[in-house]
Amino acid sequence: MKIRIIQWNISVNCTAHKIAGYIAQSISGQTIVNLQEVSEKAYHEISSILMTSDKAYSIDLRRPGRYEGRNRTMGVATFVFGGKIAHYDLIYRSVFPERTLFSTIQFEKRKISVLNFHSLTGVDYKKAKSSNFASIADFIAEKGDTLDFFACDANEPKTDALDDNEVEFADNRDKGFNASLIFGVNKVHTLRDAYKIHIQKSKLPIQTNPLATSHVNGGSHKRYDFIYCSKE
């Protein structure tokens, strides 16, 4: 069974119809698309363009309060092609639950579980960022082998490397330890970094720090977007 997984932080200020058009060109067979920084307006516009078989949006489960501000209007969305979402929910223990979305998706031959999440930024949240990683790590550990994929914008690492022992994370008052529970040498799960698998299998030349660029901030190139997959 082949499933395509797409991961993208589309930016809350995106032009939604252009995002939808690009996604539409990338769909191939059974596909799961995980998006972050999705405003309600963008979600409805993208939904109206894409011919999905099912979809879920975190803001539908946790509406922003009247005084909570713009930060609580940025949700995450999962779009499914060729399957049906049997169940979806948030990680309520996390700092911003609406930036998480756990879905169980029924395809023709098997059921797939996927976690979609968006990390906080260290610049704005510091200790809250590391605390959020701990909450998400707890959730992933509890799911164990029943979790097939997670896709995210991690706002990490500080230093990227093929060897997990060489990956470094920002010190959000925890010396980067909580991020390492998900992405580093202290991982609490057995899922594997899909891009690292791709590098190793295809024998591509190894670019160093970052292994690839998914985010540029002030001229600094980072690989912040990840897809982790089970061994199956």
d(CA 186, CA 165): 9
- Single pTM value for the model: 0.96
Q: What is the pLDDT of residue 232?
A: 66
Domains of the chain: 4-229 (3.60.10.10)
- Which parts of the chain sit beneath pLDDT 70? 123, 232
Q: What is the pLDDT of residue 19?
A: 98
Model confidence over 172-188: pLDDT tens digits? 999 999 999 999 999 99
d(CA 38, CA 46): 10
Q: Which amino acid is at 137?
A: A
Q: What is the pLDDT of residue 9?
A: 98
d(CA 182, CA 177): 9
8 Å CB contact between 231 and 145: no
Nearest Cα residue to 55 out of 80, 27, 36, 18 = 80
Model confidence over 209-226: pLDDT tens digits? 999 999 998 899 999 999
